[in-house]
Copies of this chain bind each other. A is one copy, B any other.
Amino acid sequence: MTSDPGLVDALTQLSFLVQGTLAELAGQHDLSLIQVRLLGVLRDREPAMSELGRHLGLDKSSITGLVDRAQRRGLVTRNVSDTDRRAVQVSITGAGQQLAEEIAARFTERIEAAAAPLSDPERQVLSRLATRIVTAAVRTPRSG
């Protein structure tokens, strides 16, 4: 069971590096991590508030506030659903899309720069090993 005592440490530190980079870049545009995640979800979806809550793992009341603040900044819009007048569909605006793309581009640059010490084949191996862990985790969610 106990493989390499350094693996957990290495993955933890790497996760802090990655998340810290994302938070820093978001902060440069006065955005929080959760606001960036919100924009990310909206890039290819137009979900109802309740769906947003499931995607982000937040209570519906939290989503109300989150969308309020994003809307106040012109990053998203609310629209009443055509088929269910209780439901509110959230869309990203052009400004929101632009901001999300800008942050994503800078983020990619930074992570690739961080991985630059590795050779090309090493990066490919890393990518594949990381993908296998993530894929397995998605297929086997922690039941608690």
List residues of chain A with CB under 8 Å of any chain B CB.
1-4, 6-8, 10-19, 21-22, 24, 107-108, 110-112, 114-115, 117-118, 120, 122-134, 136-137, 142
Beyond contacts A11-B115, A114-B136, A125-B125: 5 other A-B pairs, Cβ-Cβ < 8 A, are A8-B111, A10-B130, A11-B111, A24-B142, A126-B129
Please give me the 10 A-B residue pairs with the lowest Cβ-Cβ distance, nearest first: A15-B18, A10-B130, A15-B15, A7-B127, A117-B136, A13-B134, A14-B130, A126-B129, A8-B111, A10-B131
13 examples of A-B residue contacts, CB within 8 angstroms? A3-B123, A3-B124, A6-B131, A10-B130, A10-B134, A11-B111, A12-B22, A13-B134, A14-B133, A15-B16, A15-B19, A17-B133, A115-B133
Summarize A's interface: helix, strand, loop or mixed.
helix
Nearest CB of chain B from residue A114's CB, rounded to whole Å: 5
